[in-house]
Amino acid sequence: MSTPNPTNTLQPPAKPQVDKPTTPPVAAPRQPVRQSGSTQAGPGDNTKAAPSPRSATSRGGADALPLPLPPPPAPPPPEAAAPPSSGDGGGPASPADKKESSTGKLPRFAALRTDEVNLRRGPGTRYPIEWVYRRRDLPMEIEREFEVWRLVRDHEGTRGWIHQATLTGRRTFLVTSAEAAVRKDPKDTAQTVAILKSGVIGRVRSCEAGSDWCQIQAGSYRGYLRRNQIWGVLPGEVVAP
């Protein structure tokens, strides 16, 4: 019996080699990069980001030496109070202005001292500005007081806080009716001196007790107006000349 030739022995077919599918390399996770300068404001963003502090480590390779730390800053000087803006009483006062001061009487009327006065949401410059008045001598009704701040109301009912320095004690009026006839005497049958349109501002010279009329001046015209035609005088209030 012959020995089988190993070359003639049946062998199982070899498995075909199949290339394994290659998976794409996983990307390293993205890390936020901290900029050393101020960030760029996006649309509608009007805030300004403060610059980030400089890193104390080197930007080089593993063998790079750390950067020297900056010397500690000197202690800041005592913080001084920030000067108020022009709309909060920072402008120069006119010598002719009668200073508005606390009298303890509330409510009372005063007038805007300058052509730019800030109306704030609260009694302090840290509160946001709601409105900016640009009408000198506009009468305002003072309802409350807090230190140097006054809670005021205008002729349209808008309320807010303004600095005492932006007010003057000079008494003024604003015509609220469509037309107001300035009379030579305090009666409806008196001669008409002038016709004032709505929105005209003038000066209140005097108001007598129990009278429905006030003596006023508007430009070069002097005469009498009814209290119910103007804003700037309390009902029954006496205004001394």
pLDDT for position 119: 98
Per-residue pLDDT of the chain (241 residues; tens, 9 = 90+): 555 555 444 455 454 454 444 444 443 343 333 333 333 333 333 322 233 333 333 333 434 344 444 555 555 444 444 456 678 887 665 555 677 766 678 999 999 999 999 999 999 999 999 999 999 999 999 999 999 999 999 999 999 999 999 999 999 999 999 999 999 999 999 999 999 999 999 999 999 999 999 999 999 999 999 999 999 999 999 999 8
Q: Is the pTM of this model over 0.75?
A: no
Q: What are phi and psi of 164, to 5 degrees?
A: -60, -35
What is the residue-wise DSSP string for 135-187?
A: -TT-EEEEEEEETTEEEEE-TT--EEEEEGGGEE---EEEE-SSEEEEESSSS
Task: State the Cα–Cα distance between residues 102 and 146, nearest whole angstrom.
Answer: 10
pLDDT for position 18: 45
- How many CB atoms sit inside 10 A of residue 202's CB? 23
Q: In what order do the strands lie in the sheet with 159-163?
A: 129-133, 117-120, 159-163, 149-153, 139-146, 108-112, 167-168
Task: State the Cα–Cα distance between residues 153 and 141, nearest whole angstrom.
Answer: 5
What is the residue-wise DSSP string for 184-241?
A: SSSSTTSPEEEEEETT-EEEEEEE-TT-SEEEEEETTEEEEEEGGGEESS-TT--B--
Output b/e per residue, 137-175; b: 16+ Cβ within 10 A: bbbbbbeeeeeebbbbebbeeeebbbbbbbbbebbbbbb
Domains contained in the chain, CATH given? 86-170 (2.30.30.40), 173-231 (2.30.30.40)
Could you tell me which residues come within 8 angstroms of residue 65 by beta carbon, excluding any fewer than 6 positions away? 58
CA end-to-end span of the chain, whole Å?
151
The H-or-E segment that residue 118 falls in is strand 117-120
